[in-house]
Amino acid sequence: MEIGPSWGAFAFLAKKAGFDVDVIEMDEKCCDFIQNKLGIKAIQSNDPIAVFKGISGYDVIALWQVIEHLSDPWETLKAAAEKLLPDGILVISAPNPASFQFRVLGRFWTHVDAPRHLALIPSALLIRRIHALGLKCVFLTTTDKGSLGWNSFGWAVSFNNFFRGRFVRYAARYAGRIFTKLLIPIERGGLRGSAYTAVFQKERGN
């Protein structure tokens, strides 16, 4: 199960890898594309908690850059944990408020994106709350391929937001991508990347 798949890129790759995939997505057009073009069951809803009440368990539940959009992330994660089968995996990617970018850019950081982003959850807090649900953290990184992509995105878009004018904004975006290369030694160490990916496993008996 993937929550918030957008147009279904990850869901499609999971299907190609042999998984039986379902998704929960709020956008009608995305659901239509996923269902009819990708051949993946798409449940249209902006309330995954309610959806989970009426479905069976899963081996894997994934939320890629989704929890920051949820009005009640803790209840959603609780509902997801309850639907995980024994030894099941919960995968979460989210903006990292402990990142070097946030420390430097503050309120100008692109992930401070209210009202689209409702909460920026530190990985340490996420681990504590999910551990209380009977899941242990088995992997945490800011240097997986997806997270590294958010480093470049963060600098480029944040720099772009400082300026007006098409050419100047384009130049700022390009400068942000160059800046990313210069900061590789900093952002690839000590969980300082712009986004983190965490993997949790449900312990037997929970």
Q: How far apart are CA 47 and CA 79, in angstroms?
A: 11
List phi, psi (to 5°) of 189: -130, 150
87 inside domain? yes
Taking the whole predicted model, whether its pTM rises above 0.85 is answered as: yes
- Residue 5, domain member (yes or no): no
User: Could you tell me where the beta strands, DSSP code E, fall in 97-206?
Assistant: 135-141, 195-202
Q: What is the pLDDT of residues 13-35, one digit of tens each?
A: 999 999 999 999 999 999 999 99
Label residues 150-179 b or e (16+ Cβ within 10 Å = b): bbbbbbbbbbbbeeeeeeeeeebbeebeeb
Into how many domains does the chain fold? 1
Does position 206 have pLDDT exceeding 70, yes or no? no
Could you tell me if residue 35 is inside a domain?
no
Q: Is 10 a residue whose pLDDT tops 70?
A: yes
Mean pLDDT over each residue of the chain, to the nearest integer? 93
Q: Is residue 33 part of a domain?
A: no
1 C-beta neighbours (distance < 10 Å), count: 27
Q: Give, for 109, the enclosing helix (H) or strand (E).
A: none
**202 pLDDT exceeds 90?**
yes
CATH code of 97's domain:
3.40.50.150
Residue 58 placed within a domain: yes
Q: How open is the CA angle 123-127-129, to the nearest 5 degrees?
A: 115
In the chain, the DSSP E strands lie at 2-3, 22-25, 41-44, 58-64, 84-95, 135-141, 195-202
Residue recorded with tokens 């937001």: 161
| Segment 118-141 mean pLDDT | 97
- Is residue 31 domain-resident? no
Tell me the residue type at 82: E
What is the percentage of the chain residues whose pLDDT exceeds 90?
81
Q: 182: which residues sit within 8 A by CB, 6+ positions away?
A: none
Of the candidates 13, 12, 9, 42, the residue with the CA atom closest to the CA atom of residue 28: 42
Q: What is the extent of the structural domain holding 93?
A: 47-202
Beta carbons within 8 Å of 27's beta carbon, 6+ residues apart:
6, 44
In a domain, 172, yes or no: yes
